[in-house]
């Protein structure tokens, strides 16, 4: 089946590598179910089906992490996205996925120089006053060098690795097909939303491959915090930026992971925690854009107790509608409103069939567990983890944008607790929720929503005659059509086509045998080895047809 879905033969070497790693880490059954082994064998690539006993003794999440690490950048990024799916995977799996990092050796700068100088139209020595050829950071997609502009400004230069785009494109093609096949051939895997996760991976990787996109993100966040002296976003130097290179201001301060050093140098850790939390909550609830990975490595503590933020490659987006749902959800949590929580979770679950009675009971149990706690005693990270566990137990999955948001909030609260043991995210969240709710029901907001609703209603009413007329014209012209999306129907059609081909070959083979037998009894005509030539030729063709049919049935596993 995979043969019909893979579009290019050039992906076969990479597919062989993926299949070999899966087999080595104990996933041979998946390779067989997907038909990958048959495809590779037909292409003349043999697979070794031996799995190490030491590997099979490891826990499944550990084996998955090791396999993803070995498979390279695209799969490491896939694991990092899986680490955000706290609604799908249990904590033990999330802990393993969070260990995935793109620690790869840097590329020699001489391999990067020609493309950079072509983009800038001049030599590196003329563009910069200083440029460190040795990178101080290297990841799977890009590496970072320190430099100094001609006017003396210290900058960092983020450069995309050469040929990485083609490699990631091949991986994405294969992963997309494998995800569809997994959901088709293994129904139990559908609850993990594999196709959706691969789609999220594809969007994330394509964004990160375009380094100019990160520069645009930086500029957007800098605009939102232009009048906030407590948060610093690096300045972008657009004259040097392109799809393959990003030049931005170097933030001078103490890395977020060096908390003891910050305290020793007189920084106010409680104030840093509060300012970091307020910055991210403003992004989420007011601006609609947020830094999706606010871990210590992406934070710099700067003089004046300012918080500097780095690495805007992974950015989350909160639409107006989603922000309204999020506010309703948080308000229901704070007020312990079971019905409100049920309504929002039902919307987030989408078209998935829900056992509402069980979900309502689980929500009641969740709220009961927090019933005797005051607001200041509630840890938002633990609460969100309980909510995602509730959805996981009910086989519901959060929309991808919300998984990023929940993960960002949990990470942010963890960072806040490192800085200040008495830090409570809820204390910072409550004022934002209150102000947003007040703004939602202000006279201006109500008037705006009423105007928008009236406009939409008028469009529906006045457009109804046109839509009905179009419907009747299509029906009268025989162009009325209903589209049905039936799962596995394509697979059934392919099986039916394969069976028809075998049946046709069987009938032709039988006809050849009968016809050749008749020719053998007729005297005259050309002979070979004393036998009628055409009769002998018919038997030979019938023999090879029979071998083909037997091998086809054997390979399909339907003997």
Q: Is residue 557 predicted with pLDDT exceeding 60?
A: no
Q: Is residue 490 predicted with pLDDT exceeding 70?
A: no
297-311, 483-497, 522-536: the lowest-pLDDT one = 483-497
| Whether this model's pTM surpasses 0.75 | no
pLDDT value for 133 = 92
Mean pLDDT, all residues of the chain: 80
Q: How confident is the model at residue 132 (pLDDT cuts 50, 70, 90)?
A: very high
- Where are the domains positioned within the chain? 2-102+166-207, 316-443, 449-480, 489-556
Q: How confident is the model at residue 3 (pLDDT cuts 50, 70, 90)?
A: very low
Mean pLDDT of 302-323: 86
Q: Is residue 6 predicted with pLDDT exceeding 60?
A: no
Q: Which residue in 278, 293, 311, 328 is the catalytic one?
A: 293
* DSSP single-letter state for residue 236: B
Question: What's the burial of 205, exposed, middle or buried (CB within 10 Å: 0-12/13-18/19+)?
Answer: buried
68-92 per-position pLDDT tens digit: 888 877 888 888 878 877 777 788 8
pLDDT value for 349 = 77
Q: Residue 293 catalytic? A: yes
Mean pLDDT of 250-268: 91
Cα distance between residue 407 and residue 91, in whole Å:
12
pLDDT value for 413 = 84
Q: Is residue 366 predicted with pLDDT exceeding 50?
A: yes
249-263, 321-335, 419-433, 502-516: the lowest-pLDDT one = 502-516
Q: Is residue 423 predicted with pLDDT exceeding 80?
A: yes
Cα distance between residue 192 and residue 141, in whole Å:
27
416: left (phi over 0), alpha (psi -120 to 50) or beta: alpha
3-class SS shares of the chain: helix, strand, coil, % to 5: 65, 10, 25
Bridge pairing between strands 306-309 and 231-232: parallel
Q: Is residue 8 predicted with pLDDT exceeding 50?
A: no
Mean pLDDT of 59-70: 85
| Cα–Cα distances in angstroms (integers) from residue 209 to residues 172, 180, 287, 293, in the given order | 13, 24, 25, 17
Q: Where are the alpha helices (DSSP H) in 124-253?
A: 124-127, 164-185, 194-209, 211-224
* DSSP single-letter state for residue 370: T
What is the per-residue DSSP string for 327-348?
HHHHHHHHHT-HHHHHHHHHHH
Q: Is residue 2 predicted with pLDDT exceeding 60?
A: no
Cα distance between residue 51 and residue 97, in whole Å:
22
Q: Is residue 431 predicted with pLDDT exceeding 70?
A: yes
Question: What's the burial of 454, exposed, middle or buried (CB within 10 Å: 0-12/13-18/19+)?
Answer: exposed
Torsion of CA 306, 310, 312, 317, to 10 degrees: -30
Q: Are the C-beta atoms of residues 263 and 421 closer than 8 Å to each other?
A: no
487, HSE (Cβ side, Cα atoms, 13 Å)? 9
Q: Where are the alpha helices (DSSP H) in 241-337?
A: 259-264, 269-282, 320-335
Cα distance between residue 233 and residue 221, in whole Å:
7
Q: How confident is the model at residue 131 (pLDDT cuts 50, 70, 90)?
A: very high
Q: How confident is the model at residue 33 (pLDDT cuts 50, 70, 90)?
A: low
| Cα–Cα distances in angstroms (integers) from residue 266 to residues 83, 295, 300, 302, 308, in the given order | 35, 22, 15, 11, 17
């Amino acid at each position: 089946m995979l043969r019909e879905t893979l579009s290019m033969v050039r992906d076969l070497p990479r597919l062989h590598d993926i299949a070999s790693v899966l087999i080595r880490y104990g996933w041979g059954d998946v390779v067989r179910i997907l038909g990958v082994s048959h495809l590779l064998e037909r292409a003349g690539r043999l697979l070794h089906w031996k799995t190490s006993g030491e590997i099979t003794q490891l826990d499944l999440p550990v084996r998955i992490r090791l396999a993803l690490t070995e498979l390279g950048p695209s799969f490491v990024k896939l694991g990092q996205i899986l680490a955000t799916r706290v609604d799908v995977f249990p904590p033990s799996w999330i802990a393993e996925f969070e260990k995935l990092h793109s620690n790869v050796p840097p590329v020699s700068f001489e391999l990067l120089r020609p493309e950079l100088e072509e983009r800038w139209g001049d030599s590196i020595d003329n563009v910069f006053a200083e440029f460190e050829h040795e990178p101080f950071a290297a990841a799977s997609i890009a590496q970072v060098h320190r430099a100094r502009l001609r006017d003396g400004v210290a900058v960092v230069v983020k450069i995309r690795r050469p040929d990485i785009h083609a490699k990631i494109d091949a991986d994405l093609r294969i992963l997309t097909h494998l995800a569809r096949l997994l959901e088709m051939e293994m129904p139990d895997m559908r609850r993990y939303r594999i196709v959706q996760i691969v789609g999220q991976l594809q969007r994330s990787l394509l964004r990160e491959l375009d380094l100019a996109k990160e520069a645009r993100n930086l500029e957007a966040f800098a605009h939102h915090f232009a009048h906030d002296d407590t948060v610093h976003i690096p300045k972008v130097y657009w004259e040097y930026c392109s799809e393959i290179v990003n030049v931005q201001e170097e933030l001078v301060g103490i890395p977020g992971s060096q908390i003891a050093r910050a305290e020793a140098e007189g920084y106010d850790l409680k104030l840093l925690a509060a300012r970091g939390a307020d910055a991210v909550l403003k992004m989420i609830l007011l601006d609609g854009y947020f830094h999706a990975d606010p871990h210590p490595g992406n934070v710099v503590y700067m003089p004046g107790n300012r918080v500097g933020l780095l690495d805007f490659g992974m950015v989350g987006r909160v639409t107006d509608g989603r922000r309204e749902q999020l506010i309703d959800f948080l308000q229901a949590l704070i007020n312990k409103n079971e019905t409100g929580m049920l309504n929002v979770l039902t919307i987030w679950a989408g078209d998935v069939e829900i056992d509402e009675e069980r979900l309502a009971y689980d929500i009641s149990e969740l709220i009961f567990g927090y019933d005797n706690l005051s607001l200041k005693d509630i840890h938002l990270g633990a609460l969100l983890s309980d909510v995602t566990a509730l959805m996981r137990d009910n086989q519901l999955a959060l929309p991808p944008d919300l998984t990023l948001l929940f993960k960002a909030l949990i990470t942010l609260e963890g960072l806040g607790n490192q800085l200040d043991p008495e830090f409570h995210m809820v204390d910072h969240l409550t004022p934002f929720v209150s102000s947003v709710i007040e703004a939602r029901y202000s006279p201006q907001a109500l008037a705006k929503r009423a105007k928008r609703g009236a406009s939409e209603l008028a469009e529906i009413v006045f457009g109804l005659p046109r839509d009905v007329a179009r419907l009747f014209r299509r029906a009268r012209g025989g162009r009325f059509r209903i589209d049905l999306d039936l799962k596995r129907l394509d697979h059934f059609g392919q099986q039916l086509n394969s069976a028809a081909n075998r049946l046709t070959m069987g009938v032709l083979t039988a006809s050849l045998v009968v016809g050749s037998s008749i020719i053998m009894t007729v005297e005259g005509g050309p002979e070979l080895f004393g036998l009628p030539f055409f009769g002998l030729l018919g038997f030979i063709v019938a023999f090879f047809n029979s071998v083909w049919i037997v091998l086809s049935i054997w390979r399909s596993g339907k003997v």
